[in-house]
Amino acid sequence: MFKIGDFSKLTHVSVKALHHYDALGLFQPMQVDEWTGYRYYSFEQLPRLNRILALKDLGFSLEQIRHVLDEAVGAEEIAGMLRLRQAELEQQVEDSRERLKRVEMRLSLIQKEGKMPSHEIVLKSVVPIWVVSARELVPSPEQMRERCIALMQKIDEAVKNRKLPSTGTNLAIYHSNSEAGIDVEMAYFLEGDNPPQGEGVSKLPAIEMASVVYRGSYDDFAAVGALHVALGQWIEANGYTVVGASREIYLQPPSNLGNGLVGVMELQYPVEKVPSS
């Protein structure tokens, strides 16, 4: 018989762990001194302790181990638990690998730029939402501003005339950009799950979006353009492809915040995972 300290050295299991297993009823001393409370363990108990350690080593919880050891569990159930564990571990390996890739990407980025990137690109699942919109093929970039304003006025009127429940937030949807021009759609978000139907009212479907939030002047085209480029690089580097029209959501139109004209907008590109080879 060993006192707990000796048994701990023998088995390489800490005294505190033995206390813990005792408290759980998972592994109790052969004998406990009635007066001192001293725990006494014996060699006889090694097989059980080794089974506990082996199962722990496979990643089972102490509760699961107790179940397996004390409740005459059949080989079938144990095999089932092992297969579940197998699947979990495969998932874990995959998750750690992907996380590792993201860390490495961030590392190479920081070494190229010499500082933390000023923006964060996140993947988000966007819920379906209703909009009222107007769309046009703008022949050249120079006309963009003018045409967009015109489109916005058109929608504004529709909202007013038809009393549409606008949330007040507007966005641009870029369908394509070819030699023929820029196919752009301006829109307002509508509240609720079924707003009054009519011309220009449609529902944007749920979709995965790679998104980045921009905070600064809306007129700083260089900064906004750089963000579009960064998004594109991120999408490719992370094994996605663009599968539809991108959006610019004007979350908060510029206003004077004490340190200049600052607004918040969000750029979104719908993406899909490219099956990795």
Partner DNA sequence: TTGCTCCTCACGTCACGTGAGGTGGC
Residues near a copy of itself (CB under 8 A) are 12, 42-44, 46-47, 50-51, 53-54, 57-59, 68, 75, 78-79, 82-83, 85-86, 89-90, 92-93, 96-97, 99-100, 102-104, 106-107, 110-111, 114-116, 119-122, 124-125, 212-213, 215, 251-252, 257, 262, 264, 266
Specify the residue, 38 or 221, whose C-beta has the smaller distance to DNA.
38
Is residue 37 within the footprint of DNA (CB under 7 A)? yes
Full DSSP string of 105-149: HHHHHHHHHSS--SS-EEEEEEPPEEEEEEEEEESSGGGHHHHHH
Is residue 63 within the footprint of DNA (CB under 7 A)? yes
State the binding partner of 19 from a copy of itself, DNA, none, CB within 5 to 8 A by kind. Answer: DNA
Distance between CA atoms of 57 and 225, rounded to whole angstroms?
Answer: 52
Specify the residue, 8 or 202, whose C-beta has the smaller distance to DNA.
8
Binding span for DNA by CB under 7 A among 37-45, 67-75, 204-212, 216-224: 37-45
Distance between CA atoms of 233 and 250, rounded to whole angstroms?
Answer: 23
Strand partners, 266: 213, 249
Is residue 19 within the footprint of DNA (CB under 7 A)? yes
Nearest Cα to Cα of residue 159 among 198, 127, 194:
198
Please report how close the Cβ of residue 12 comes to a copy of itself at its closest, in angstroms. 6
Please report how close the Cβ of residue 43 comes to DNA at its closest, in angstroms. 16
Q: Where are the alpha helices (DSSP H) in the chain?
A: 4-11, 15-24, 46-57, 62-70, 75-113, 144-161, 221-237
Specify the residue, 26 or 213, whose C-beta has the smaller distance to DNA.
26
Please report how close the Cβ of residue 86 comes to a copy of itself at its closest, in angstroms. 5
- In Å, what is the CA distance from 176 to each residue of 20, 135, 179, 230, 242? 64, 12, 10, 19, 12
Specify the residue, 58 or 137, whose C-beta has the smaller distance to DNA.
58
Is residue 92 within the footprint of DNA (CB under 7 A)? no
Specify the residue, 63 or 94, whose C-beta has the smaller distance to DNA.
63
Is beta strand 2-3 parallel, antiparallel or unpaired with respect to 201-204? unpaired
